[in-house]
Structure 1
Amino acid sequence: MIHIKDKGHFRKILQSLGNNKVLIVKYSTDWCGPCRIIAKSYTKLEKEQQKKFVNVIFAECDVDIAPGVAEDEGITCLPTIAGYMKGEKIESFMGSNKEKLTEFCVKMAKLATVPSGKVSRAEQQESGPAAGVTSDPEFTDIGRQP
């Protein structure tokens, strides 16, 4: 999970996406009740999706720590979950509905494409190792922090 620190950090993350990755950002803060409700579900989804889709990066933006990012992105309600691709916001939703969060994350993951000759972990599991799967760390670990 990436923790967005400020506008510069956010821009670097967006630039690192390239054409084949999706960034999902949860905009929230500690004092927000609905944010706390959805926090565990978001973390759980991140762990589940990492196993299925190597081309999805999850991030959190605490609007008290990085208010400029939230302002620039037009965040007016907490929590807001936003999906980014090719450096641009493509979709978002507001609120703490766990089912909607799951649907949104799966939808964003499916929008991402993978480079030619490389397949997602989900495709690897379906097709097996002969499908051209790579162990290239740049492909599997861009933007992820321990």
Structure 2
Amino acid sequence: MAVIVATDSDFTNVLNANQKVVVKYYADWCGSCRLFSPKFKRMSDDAQFDGITFVDVNAEQSPEARKLASVTNLPFFAIFNGGQLVDTIAASKEDAVVNLIQKLNA
């Protein structure tokens, strides 16, 4: 599944239109964020995450979306279920992000 790019203007709609969502918050200047992008894309295509929507949000250009997850560091990941924040992690390790996403299937 393709990674959806969301901004403040459509972030709430994306959360409400999809039951299970994982969001990667990034900034253009963030090297770790750029390095994680291909991993995030690969994870979005992984069969174990079927039914989960993957979303990219530029944290600098979307302050309202950033505030919803209380972003503290980049890259930052948040999972939402039914539009509600479930958990977050600031990490650049793929296994930490996989563990976070698996909470949506628990």
TM-score category (smaller protein)? 0.7 to 0.9
Work out which of the residue numbers 47, 54, 60 in structure 1 matches 2:56.
60
Residues 72-119 of structure 1 show CA distances to partners (whole Å, capped at 9, x for unaligned) of 4311211111000111100111020111112222332x14xxxxxxxx
2:28 paired with 1:30: yes
Q: Does 1:107 align with 2:103?
A: yes
CA RMSD of aligned residues (A): 1.6
CA 1:72/1:104 → structure 2, altered by over 3 Å: closer, same or farther?
closer
Residues 80-91 of structure 1 aligned to structure 2 (within 5 Å): 80-91=76-87
Aligned residue pair count: 104
Identical positions, percent: 22
Under a length normalisation based on structure 1, what TM-score does the superposition of the two structures give? 0.64
Higher Cα radius of gyration: 1
Amino acid at match of 1:13: V
Distance 1:40 1:72 in 2: 25
The normalised TM-score by structure 2 is: 0.85
Partner residue of 1:46 out of 44, 47, 57: 44
What is the CA–CA distance in structure 1 between the aligned matches of 2:69 and 2:99, rounded to whole Å?
22
Give ranges in structure 2 of 5+ residues lacking alignment. Answer: none
Gaps of 5+ in 1: 112-146
Tell me the secondary structure at the aligned position of residue 92 of structure 1. Answer: strand
Residue of structure 1 aligned with 2:92, choices 86, 91, 96: 96
Partner of residue 3, structure 1: 5
1:29/1:62 contact within 8 Å kept:
yes
